[in-house]
Amino acid sequence: MKRRAGRWLLVLACLTAGAAQAGNQKEEVLADSVRLALANAIKDASPPVPQFRDAAARGQYEQWFSAMSFRLQRKLPDAQTRREFLQTAWYEAKRAGLDPGLVLGLIQVESAYRKYAISIAGARGLMQVMPFWTRVIGDGDRSKLFHMQTNLRYGCAILRMYLDMENGNLFLALGRYNGSRGRPEYPNAVLRAWQAWRL
């Protein structure tokens, strides 16, 4: 009996291994100005190359990059992939006015750093962006949500919008991002994960 139960658990684990456990953003009516701002935010094709105002800012980035790269080695063992991911995550987070550690914590909870993760609700990629966003603010090509920079750009822009909608209340913005506004489980999970990505 135990052996049979063990086999069922293994089968279940295999079936759900590719699925992300995140919730889903809800499609909401957006003001035209918000839709336009989001569309412009994701349309910018700037490469994710960090820019620094001075040597001290560059030093802070290099310190952050080194620490995060070490912490991510098990999740992203290839050094080139890890470098590109961290550079892009930092760039897109800063571009949206977010803490890069918060973005890394959100990705940990949303997809466990799996670029091709798909949730039961259909959310895609690292930041588990719902496909309707490609229609609302993009060109309608859902497959682009598996492109690292595109996914991070959408996710960061959407979280920034939710933060603005919630007047800076991160708890409520995270709930809205997950489609569970007002419930504590998801925001608390992201806030706990964020602690692991602080310097």
Phi, psi (rounded to 5 degrees) for 98: -115, 155
Kindly tell me the sign of the dihedral angle through the C-alpha atoms of 152, 14, 174, 28. Answer: positive
Q: What share of the chain is helix, strand, coil (3-state, %, to 5)?
A: 60, 5, 35
The answer to whether the beta carbons of residues 103 and 13 sit under 8 Å apart is no
* Averaged pLDDT, 55-74: 96
Neighbouring C-beta atoms of residue 26, cutoff 10 Å: 13
Of all helices (H) and strands (E), which one includes residue 153? helix 148-165
| Per-residue model confidence as pLDDT tens digits over 2-28 | 444 444 333 333 333 344 445 566 777
Give the domains, in start order, of the chain with CATH numbers: 2-196 (1.10.530)
pLDDT for 31: 67
Of all helices (H) and strands (E), which one includes residue 119? strand 118-119
pLDDT for 5: 42
Whose CA is closest to 133, among 43, 45, 7? 43
Among left, alpha and beta (phi > 0; psi -120 to 50; other), residue 179 is left
Does the pLDDT of residue 76 top 80, yes or no?
yes
Q: What is the pTM of this model?
A: 0.82
Burial category of 165 from C-beta neighbours within 10 Å (exposed 0-12, middle 13-18, buried 19 and up):
middle
Q: Which of 30-34, 38-42, 116-120, 194-198 is least confident?
A: 30-34
Whose CA is closest to 119, among 191, 177, 163, 38? 177
Among left, alpha and beta (phi > 0; psi -120 to 50; other), residue 13 is alpha
Ordered alpha helix ranges (H), 44-147: 55-72, 79-95, 100-111, 132-136
